[in-house]
């Protein structure tokens, strides 16, 4: 075969070898752990020293009695720990779904709501709220609403008999817009004293109402769907190629994309039914993570789940400690996320 | 042995007039086929049919004697590798990671390339002389380099047949010739090669089989020396073009007449 000097025009040395993935993940994991301890220590009731928080965590091991005040143990385990776990799960879920969506729809500007899952979940939740159903059923309705909406989005290309990524994205935009209008209607008819504040909760996001019971039912779906996406993360690279190229690499596009969509939709739907819609996370965090870990989805997916966990921990801790009330999360993610997005675009310089 | 065979192949997009009409031909193992034709004649369409990407209206394509549409995508990928005109990527993957995607037909849906796969990636890059691109982003390399990277990805796929869609159209004059040489060398190594091009001279240079597709969907196929002559080229392109011996380069060449 030809030597390199013949075809390559210029010398291209200097590109650095990427850091091994395990180093990236261990560093991020350690950061996450420290942040989690910090988040458990901070709160409105009382600020606990971080080392004492660690002691409290270990006090649950049978046979260990460190003689810590019971109120502090309760604050950490009953109030803060469920929130911290929820923040980690929701953050991880949203950015895993976002990174996968961006990959399989070949577009870095895609967010997990692309196929209408968030607006559908909001419609489901608002129906339940208008009907006066309890919080458990509201979550179930939100979950069902999200899944049904995505199913509807997937159905449109089939009805049109045109199976391309563009048509799918378009039908996501159409269905999402339709659902937003329905949310508008439900807000319009809702009781301004009782129902409207609850609807606002769904559209702006908060982890305040997460309970151990609701975590118990949803966490397993999240973990299972997350494992599927993490396991098939290299295939997302293939799905991000042009359809023709991917097909000629032996990829069963329909099957693999559907599997990834189902997993990402389950992740987003469970996240939304726990906390309502939280904007920006699924869009911005994968971008920021690409700067740290690179574009290869093999590295991006696990890394962005950890980065997003850190991000949501910070956001939620600020939301519950900064003022006497709860700040809706979408407000904070937007205020922090938008500048970050500009920063990452400036760094990437790929939209010129 | 025939690796690819078209039997009364007719193809049309949706309900419109057929682009390809009743084509029957075969491609022998180890041959080097250059497919020529004016814009819109259906070169890419024919390539897509041969790769099993499109379903013909009637007739069939046989890959090693089996109907290609009856094979699954994975087993087609074990035999045919496709090199698109240009790499179009939504994300700046590193060259090494991009080439490793060529291992996809051999990997399960929940696995990723292992050390052995990456070893064969590194070996192939070494052989093609592009090792220094390894950690560069695919978006940072030149058009000529990108073509090599894509060919490398196709070789990693361990196919019998390499299909190139206009491998030279995005390249400068020098790189066009270099890629043609590389394609000839690949053919010498044993790959069956099919490529499309806009330049009849490429078919003459490669000196294998030439297939000339005209606007009416009629295909003339045979030895390049037989198929490419002043008359056939004039007819297909509707232009004064001359195929004749040129003493300065000591070969038959295809050149246009004055504007």
For residue A349, the model assigns a pLDDT of 60
Q: Given pLDDT bands bounded at 50, 70 and 90, which one contains residue A44?
A: confident
Contact status of A8 with chain B (Cβ, < 8 Å): yes
Task: Report chain A residues whose CB lies below 8 A from the CB of B101.
Answer: 237-238, 241, 249
The predicted-structure confidence for A160-196, as pLDDT tens digits, reads as follows 887 777 888 899 999 999 999 999 999 999 988 888 9
Measured in angstroms, the CA of A13 and the nearest CA of chain B are apart by 6
Contact B139 A5 (CB under 8 A): no
For residue A163, the model assigns a pLDDT of 73
Q: CA geometry: angle at A272 spanning A112 and A38, to 5°?
A: 100
Task: Report chain A residues whose CB lies below 8 A from the CB of B81.
Answer: 248
Q: Given pLDDT bands bounded at 50, 70 and 90, which one contains residue A151?
A: very high
Q: A11 pLDDT exceeds 50?
A: no
Contact status of A23 with chain B (Cβ, < 8 Å): no
Q: How many CB pairs under 8 A join A and B?
A: 138
Tokens of A55: 């002691």
Q: What is the CATH number of domain B2-93+143-257?
A: 3.40.50.300
Contact status of A352 with chain B (Cβ, < 8 Å): no
For residue A341, the model assigns a pLDDT of 85
For residue B37, the model assigns a pLDDT of 93
Distance of alpha carbon A287 from alpha carbon A99, whole angstroms: 8
Mean pLDDT for B187-200 is 96
Q: In this structure, are residues A303 and A99 in contact, taking their beta carbons and an 8 Å threshold?
A: no
Residue (of B96, B88, B84) closest to A107 by Cα position: B88
Looking at the DSSP bridge assignments, the partners of residue B141 are none
Q: A251 pLDDT exceeds 60?
A: yes
Mean pLDDT for A232-239 is 97
Mean pLDDT for A267-285 is 92
- Tell me the domain boundaries of chain B: 2-93+143-257
Q: A352 pLDDT exceeds 60?
A: no
DSSP letters, A212-226, are HHHHHHHHHHHHHHH
Q: Given pLDDT bands bounded at 50, 70 and 90, which one contains residue A350?
A: low
For residue B259, the model assigns a pLDDT of 84
Q: In this structure, are residues A176 and A170 in contact, taking their beta carbons and an 8 Å threshold?
A: no
Contact A233 B112 (CB under 8 A): yes
| Element of type H or E holding B242 | strand B241-246
Q: A1 pLDDT exceeds 60?
A: no
Measured in angstroms, the CA of B112 and the nearest CA of chain A are apart by 6
Mean pLDDT for A195-224 is 88
Task: Report chain A residues whose CB lies below 8 A from the CB of B141.
Answer: 12
For residue B119, the model assigns a pLDDT of 96
Contact B185 A233 (CB under 8 A): no
For residue B61, the model assigns a pLDDT of 96
Distance of alpha carbon A228 from alpha carbon A265, whole angstroms: 12
Contact B90 A106 (CB under 8 A): yes
Distance of alpha carbon B24 from alpha carbon B54, whole angstroms: 17
For residue B81, the model assigns a pLDDT of 97
Q: In this structure, are residues A172 and A115 in contact, taking their beta carbons and an 8 Å threshold?
A: yes
Distance of alpha carbon A71 from alpha carbon A78, whole angstroms: 10
Task: Report chain A residues whose CB lies below 8 A from the CB of B105.
Answer: 249-250
DSSP letters, A259-328, are HHHHHHHHHHHHHHHHH----SHHHHHHHHHHHHH-S-HHHHHHHHHHHHHHHHHHHHHHHHHSSSSPPP
Q: What is the DSSP letter of A252?
A: -
Looking at the DSSP bridge assignments, the partners of residue B163 are B82, B194
| Element of type H or E holding A138 | helix A135-160
Contact status of A247 with chain B (Cβ, < 8 Å): yes
How far from each other are the two terminal CA atoms of chain A, in whole angstroms? 36
Looking at the DSSP bridge assignments, the partners of residue B6 are B25, B61
Contact A248 B175 (CB under 8 A): no
Count Cβ neighbours within 10 Å for each residue of A97-119 and write b for 16 or more, e otherwise: bbbbbbbbbbebebbbbbbbbbb
Tokens of A352: 């010129």
Tokens of A177: 């817009």
Q: If you search the block for the tokens 């297909």, which residue do you land on?
A: B236
DSSP letters, B135-189, are TSBGGGS-HHHHHHHHHHHHHHT--SEEEESSTTTTS-HHHHHHHHHHHHHHHHT
For residue A15, the model assigns a pLDDT of 66
Distance of alpha carbon A84 from alpha carbon A210, whole angstroms: 10
DSSP letters, A51-119, are HHHHHHHHTTSTT------HHHHHIIIIIIHHHHHHHHHHHHHHHHHHHHHHHHTT-TT--GGGGSHHH
Mean pLDDT for B212-234 is 92
Rounded to two decimals, what is the model's pTM? 0.90
Q: In this structure, are residues A137 and A128 in contact, taking their beta carbons and an 8 Å threshold?
A: yes
Contact B110 A12 (CB under 8 A): no
For residue B2, the model assigns a pLDDT of 87
């Amino acid at each position: 075969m030809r030597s390199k000097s013949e075809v390559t025009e210029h010398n291209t040395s200097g590109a650095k070898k990427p850091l091994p993935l395990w180093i990236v993940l261990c560093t991020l994991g350690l950061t996450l752990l420290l942040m989690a301890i910090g988040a458990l220590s901070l709160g409105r009731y009382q600020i606990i020293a971080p080392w004492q928080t660690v002691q409290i965590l270990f006090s649950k091991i049978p046979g260990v009695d460190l003689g810590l005040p019971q109120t502090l143990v309760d604050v950490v385990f009953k109030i803060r720990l469920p929130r911290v776990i929820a923040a980690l799960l929701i953050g991880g879920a949203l950015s895993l779904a976002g990174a996968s969506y961006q990959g399989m729809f070949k577009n870095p500007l895609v967010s997990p709501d692309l196929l209408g899952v968030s607006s559908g979940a909001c419609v489901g939740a608002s129906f339940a709220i208008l009907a006066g159903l309890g919080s458990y059923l509201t979550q179930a309705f939100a979950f069902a609403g999200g899944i049904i909406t995505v199913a509807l989005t997937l159905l449109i290309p089939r009805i049109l008999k045109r199976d391309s990524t563009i048509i799918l994205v378009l039908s996501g935009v159409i269905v999402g817009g339709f659902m937003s209008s329905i949310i508008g209607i439900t807000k319009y008819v809702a009781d301004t004293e009782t129902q409207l504040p609850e609807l606002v909760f769904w559209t702006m996001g908060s982890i305040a109402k997460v309970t151990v019971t609701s975590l118990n039912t949803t966490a397993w779906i999240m973990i299972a769907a997350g494992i599927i996406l993490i396991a098939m993360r290299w295939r997302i690279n293939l799905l991000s190629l042009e359809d023709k190229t991917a097909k000629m690499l032996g990829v069963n596009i329909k099957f693999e994309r559907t599997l990834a969509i189902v997993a990402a939709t389950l992740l987003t739907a469970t996240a939304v039914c726990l906390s309502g819609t939280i904007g920006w996370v699924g869009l911005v965090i994968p971008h920021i993570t690409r700067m740290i870990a690179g574009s290869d989805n093999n590295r991006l997916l696990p890394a962005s789940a950890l980065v997003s966990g850190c991000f949501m921990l910070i956001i939620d801790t600020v939301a519950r400690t900064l003022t006497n009330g709860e700040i809706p999360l979408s407000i904070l993610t937007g205020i922090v996320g938008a500048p970050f997005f500009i920063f990452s675009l400036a760094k990437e310089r790929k939209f010129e | 042995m025939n690796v690819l065979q078209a039997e009364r192949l007719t193809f049309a997009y949706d309900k419109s007039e057929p682009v390809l009409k009743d084509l029957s031909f075969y491609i022998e193992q180890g041959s080097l086929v250059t497919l020529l034709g004016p814009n819109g004649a259906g070169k890419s369409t024919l390539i897509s049919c041969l790769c099993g990407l499109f379903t013909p209206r009637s007739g069939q394509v046989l890959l090693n004697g089996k109907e290609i549409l009856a094979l699954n995508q994975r087993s087609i990928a074990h035999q045919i590798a496709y090199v698109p005109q240009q790499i179009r990527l939504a994300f700046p993957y590193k060259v090494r990671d991009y080439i490793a995607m060529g291992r996809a037909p051999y990997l399960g849906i929940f696995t990723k390339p292992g050390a052995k796969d990456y070893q064969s990636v590194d070996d192939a890059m070494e052989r093609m002389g592009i090792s220094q691109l390894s950690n560069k982003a695919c978006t940072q390399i030149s058009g000529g380099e990108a073509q090599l990277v894509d060919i490398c990805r196709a070789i990693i796929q361990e196919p019998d047949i390499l299909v190139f869609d206009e491998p030279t159209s995005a390249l400068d004059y020098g790189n066009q010739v270099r890629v043609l040489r590389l394609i000839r060398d690949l053919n010498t190594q044993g790959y069956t090669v099919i490529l499309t091009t806009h330049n009849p001279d490429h078919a003459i240079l490669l000196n294998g089989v030439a297939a000339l597709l005209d606007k009416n969907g009629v295909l003339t196929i045979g030895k390049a020396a037989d198929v490419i002559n002043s008359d056939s080229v004039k007819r297909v392109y509707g232009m004064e073009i001359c195929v004749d011996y040129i003493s300065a380069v000591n070969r038959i060449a295809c050149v246009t007449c004055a504007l």
